Structure 1
Amino acid sequence: MRASERAVKVLIVDDSALVRKIFTEELARDPAIEVVGTAPDPVVGRDKIVQLEPDVLLLDIEMPRMDGLTFLEKLMRHRPLPTIIVSSLARESSDVALRALDLGAADVMCKPGSSYSVRDMGEQLRAKVKAVAQISVAGQWYCHS
């Protein structure tokens, strides 16, 4: 990374402390990415978005106090931010994944499982974070029925 380039600032919102730790470690492998904060739920995440002004949000779906899709819908209405949904519920082409994209998510990834290792996920996650950081969501209108 050249001195003139700024690292992509990422906020991770996931109720699992282990997932937040793993994602932070995986993203830290790339000097062009900086995890500026983490949050255990969308309510804390909302405050951290205001405070930390991340470039990209990583968001889980199943969390206490508010689910990720409800939060995503509110976020895109009030403070659009390039968001990657990372959830075990968001398998490719699933209803949940399609709904997340409809609500304004820039991308959707499934969390690692038996056939998908953390190392594979880390490489994909770093690439997706840098790609969605280039998206301008400011001023976009999302219409939902």
Structure 2
Amino acid sequence: MNQATPHVGAPAAPFTQLLSSTRRGARLARLLAVAELRSRGASQDLTERAELVVAELAANAVLHGLVPGRCFRLTLALDPSARRLRVEVSDARGDLHPHPRPADPDPLPTGGRGLTLVTALADHWDCVPYPPSGKTVRAELFDTTA
């Protein structure tokens, strides 16, 4: 049987996992992301930033993207040659799109800082439709370690 040999430095196939839209599913998304990035040799800095981004996006998918009986999807696409990681979290609620909150006068709010963290940790993030009726929140992180 012939197998294609990947080019050195070519991006590996993306990691994709469906997870239950529960707090346990969000926690598992974070743990799986860390394990996957470590197994692919991602830097500690990139892994730590991705861990927080995945935690926030997965928590948002569970909290704001929940449709009973539907899962959310985590996808990680690591491109070592470009030193880039794309994190995608897709959920079934396409009618609710994330927006960063304006500055809150309360210095210690109890919620609503998730996308502020994503904005601070990711080099770019956006939201696109996920057919047929959901959405995908994508974040790109660049590895700046030498």
Q: For this structure pair, what is the TM-score category when the shorter chain's length is used for normalisation?
A: 0.3 to 0.5
Q: Write 1 or 2 for the structure with the bigger share of strand.
A: 2
Q: Write 1 or 2 for the structure with the bigger share of helix.
A: 1
TM-score normalised to structure 1 length: 0.35
Greater Rg by CA: 2
